[in-house]
Structure 1
Amino acid sequence: MGESPLHVWLEQGEQLLRLRLFRPKANIIDAAMIAALKDAFDKNLSNARLRAVLLDAEGPHFSFGASVEEHLPEACAEMLSAMHSLIWQMLEYEVPILVAIHGQCLGGGLEVAAAGHMIFAAPNASLGQPEVRLGVFASPASCLLPEKIGQSRAEDLLLSGRSIDAEEAYRIGLVNQVAEDPQQAALDYFQEFLAPLSASTVKFAVRAARITVNERIKIKLDAVKKMYLEELMAGHDAVEGLNAFLEKRPAVWEDR
């Protein structure tokens, strides 16, 4: 096996779990990356001193998104189940997940970021859910974004597939802070606001803040997974769009 796609370490006296996507420049959220993230979250949750997680990425971009190959019919059921499992794990995680992004944060990359609690973005960040342009839809984002930024703004991003810059993301509430060094901004937030707190109390506060939100998202996640696998992937255009992307050619839509 090659090098792990994720670098994992503890710092601040084991109070802060650091996770770094480590397959630049794309940092694709593929099966290996999902498995590594899930394992890191699992292994560190029992740490009674843990007060936060900081997720960032190596290289010029946070993530170009999920693996397009893994969206094809023979792999999409397994991929979607794994991705939904990771998103749900993050939604239920008992300490704040701070996410520092720079460059492109697209598709599955933005879904992972949006499942966290706070996003710190560099001015050059570009955030979007381009899946619809490939003939599919952004499954977890369809559940996460309406909760984070409201239905109307979420529908704009989900239906257009357009990307927005960090300032627009901040204006609509997707990003919490725009900073030249988003990792340092996240670390500063941790030191000022989270490190002085009781780790036990932080966990209760996290659970309380998301209790009804997570109930709504869970219902939606199950519904969109069923729609994706049983309806979308049974049609022509989803497979055509994915293959066209991989073959670097324009898609030929049949509207079915």
Structure 2
Amino acid sequence: MKFFLLQYEVAFRIATITLNRPDKRNALNGAMVAELRQAFAAAAADEDVKVIVLKGNGEAFCAGADLDYLQQLQQNTYEENLADSKELMQLFKEIYQLDKVVIAQVEGHAVAGGCGLVTVCDLSYVVPEAMLGYTEVKIGFVPALVAVFLVRKIGEGRARELLLTGRLVTAEKAARDGLITAVVPAAEITAHVAKVATSLCNEASGNSLKVTKKLIGTVLDLPMKNGLEHAAELNAATRGHEDCKRGIAAFLNKEKLVW
């Protein structure tokens, strides 16, 4: 599969998807969104891939929507804009619901739609110099799609602060608010993300990661009674899975298991 706006590689069961429009600060347009969907679909379908890392080339992780793209949207009909919006919706949804763990490696600013990408990743590690935020209200737009995921992730109060003010915040504040996982120095971030991804590959069952991620994404939509029933069913089903049998046998026999 050939990409023009991304770089895609697989090594040691880790797929790395790199936004590659550094001259445009990795800004999003229709073509970039389409390629991202294709890349994540390829990683999802590849049995040799267990973890996915999303990063960007250049000074910015992703600066949001491309300026030329924004100008084009002004000429679109409502129907055309709705179809275009649904493409980005599908990308966010696919990353959020993907069976495999997705890690954002953020080495520059993540703004608007770029911060949306960070929001839907499972784990995110960010350099101290990066600023993050949703600036849509400052240009008369609305952070509609990301709001659905952000409220779930950090709660209504903190989401209101970020989405209504449109302010960019430091990586440290983003970490305190629960928007990102941790702040990591620039000199260490590549090695740190590789260590986390490798640990997930070698120390965690692929089935357990998939089921746990699905449970986290599902349980918030259910009343507590239904959520607990669903959890009990997953618990019972997982006990019969081959991964669980291997894991328990290794634990009882004091054997180190490499997944």
Bucket of the pairwise TM-score, normalised by the shorter protein: 0.7 to 0.9
Higher relative contact order (CA 8 A, sep 6+): 1
The alpha-carbon deviation at position 214 of structure 1 amounts to 6.9
The alpha-carbon deviation at position 213 of structure 1 amounts to 4.0
Secondary structure in structure 2 of the residue aligned to 1:43 = helix
Of residues 190, 196, 202 in structure 1, which corresponds to 2:197?
190
Q: Which moved more, 1:78-87 or 1:158-167?
A: 78-87
TM, length-normalised to structure 1 = 0.78
In 2, Cα distance between equivalents of 1:71 and 1:91:
26
Counterpart code for 1:85: Q
8 Å contact 1:120–1:183 — kept in the other structure?
no
In 1, Cα distance between equivalents of 2:117 and 2:73:
17
Provide the aligned C-alpha RMSD in A. Answer: 2.0
Q: Could you say if the C-alpha distance between residues 3 and 90 of structure 1 is closer, same or farther in structure 2, counting changes exceeding 3 Å?
A: closer
Of residues 76, 83, 92 in structure 2, which corresponds to 1:87?
92
8 Å contact 2:10–2:49 — kept in the other structure?
no
The alpha-carbon deviation at position 46 of structure 1 amounts to 2.2
1:97 alignment partner in structure 2: 102
1:30 alignment partner in structure 2: 29
1:17 alignment partner in structure 2: 15
The 5-angstrom pairing of residues 1-256 of structure 1 reads: 4-12=4-12, 15-25=13-23, 26-67=25-66, 68-72=70-74, 74=76, 75-181=80-186, 182-213=189-220
Unaligned runs of 5+ in 1: 217-256
The alpha-carbon deviation at position 201 of structure 1 amounts to 2.5
Structure showing greater radius of gyration is 2
In 2, Cα distance between equivalents of 1:201 and 1:130:
37
The alpha-carbon deviation at position 183 of structure 1 amounts to 3.0
In 2, Cα distance between equivalents of 1:87 and 1:6:
17
Counterpart code for 1:39: Q
Q: Could you say if the C-alpha distance between residues 70 and 63 of structure 1 is closer, same or farther in structure 2, counting changes exceeding 3 Å?
A: farther
Aligned-residue identity in percent: 22
TM, length-normalised to structure 2 = 0.77
